[in-house]
Chains A and B, each alone.
Chain A
């Protein structure tokens, strides 16, 4: 396939959190608002005057100081974020919108927060006088009570602080405008991603992963022209004559902002056609529907609770339904199997991975490769062996089924 015009540019944008587009937006006077979790609606952080950036710590392999603070028994992602923060890599942030959605990232964010307590000294990790960190309470369920609660929380802990600290316009009109911009990003990402559903897809999982990540980490307004151009380019992109993959897979699991991991899977012959993991596009790029009779904020609150497939959700019907939804994704994207990857020390996905591994195989007939990984993995020979073996097993299954 012909190289995507902006791929190298996108790859470069992912080399640092404070990338060229972030710098440009900052230079234009916009406020950078960091977040880590899907449950913090990025659309609210993209209101005029500010922009969202989902935090990553690319190339962080040895988080030594963070390991002193968080210990070596906490997920590598959280430690890498803290290490990058301690190195000054997030000094561009004007605020961090915290969530206590998983313990490790919560602790990372609490280290950033200026708590003004007598009992523990603040570290002032983010060297920015304007910086503040605010926590929002995120419900564990998706019922009416939770929608109301989440709306109240988002108003009190996201919108109002943004307005008070930075004078951000948080009116319904501003929200509607931002949702429109957000939905355009979603539409473009979905349009690009849908090419993965073709029999011989015209985009690789790696390329899509890179594109999805830049849409999460760069100011929307600035990345949009590139996304539009890429979507146009995709319309005429021809696949290679011969399929250069041996099977297609859905990649599911915990936090994954490392496109090299996707590249590693694809180098073993499994094309990643769907990305249902934290930082993936399946949930985060579903357009937000603004319903009549409901405030935009209420619609946003409902949207994020209704669309999440996070194993943090506890209602019985939800715990069960998300297995089915994963199987349906495999069908929708014509995947031959599922790779479920949990980060080491991720408690949610450690369990979810085990259950998915049994249920998807037993009840939905899907081959599953179940692995545990670190935050940065590209050099892992062990994983390569696992993926190669999985691809072979899928091929053998195909032969046995006479495909």
Chain B
């Protein structure tokens, strides 16, 4: 088989494998499962633990702004 033929065969093989893999991810909702079971709990913990400004301490100046 000529080099070009081999290249296309390989390319086809790689594309097929990538597509097959994508199909598995797609069909079995692996993206959803990863996000739900791993990514979201991780991010949630991060946001829960995040230090936040206590907005109640924010000044509330009665005369700061003119009448708009």
Contact = CB atoms under 8 A, between A and B. Distances in A.
Interface residues of B, number: 10
A316 B65 contact: yes
Interface in A294-345: 315-317, 320-321, 323-324
B28 interface: no
Contact of B61 (A143, A315, A320, A362): A320
B58 to A, nearest CB: 10
A321 B63 CA distance: 8
Contacts of A358: 56
Given A143-B67, A315-B67, A315-B68, A324 B56 contact: no
B7 to A, nearest CB: 68
B62 A323 contact: yes
A383 interface: no
B27 interface: no
A159 to B, nearest CB: 29
A60 B56 CA distance: 39
A317 B66 contact: yes
Nearest to A323: B62
A316 B68 contact: yes
Is chain B's binding surface mostly helix, strand, loop or mixed? Answer: loop
B38 to A, nearest CB: 38
A153 B44 CA distance: 52
A359 B57 CA distance: 10
B60 A320 contact: yes
B6 to A, nearest CB: 72
Interface residues of A, number: 12
Interface string A122-163: 000000000000000000000100000000000000000000
Interface string A353-391: 000001100110000000000000000000000000000
A315 B65 CA distance: 11
Contacts of B65: 316-317, 320
A358 B66 CA distance: 23
Contact of B60 (A143, A315, A317, A323): A323
A321 B64 CA distance: 11
Contacts of B62: 320-321, 323-324
Counting chain A CB atoms within 10 Å of each CB, the highest count among B56, B60, B65, B66 belongs to B60
B61 to A, nearest CB: 7
A308 to B, nearest CB: 15
A351 to B, nearest CB: 14
A340 to B, nearest CB: 16
A317 B67 contact: yes
Among A320, A321, A359, the one with the most B-chain Cβ atoms within 10 Å of its Cβ is A320
A315 B68 CA distance: 7
A365 to B, nearest CB: 14
Contacts of A324: 62
Contacts of A320: 60-65
B66 A359 contact: no
A323 to B, nearest CB: 7
Contacts of B63: 320
A305 to B, nearest CB: 13
A363 B67 CA distance: 22
Contacts of A321: 62
Nearest to B60: A359
Nearest to B65: A316
A362 B65 CA distance: 20
7 contacts: A320-B60, A320-B61, A320-B62, A320-B64, A320-B65, A323-B60, A363-B60
Interface of B: 56, 60-68
User: Top 7 nearest A-B pairs by Cβ distance?
Assistant: A324-B62, A317-B67, A320-B62, A316-B65, A359-B60, A358-B56, A321-B62
Given A320-B64, A362-B56, 7 more contacts: A315-B67, A315-B68, A317-B66, A317-B67, A320-B60, A323-B60, A363-B60
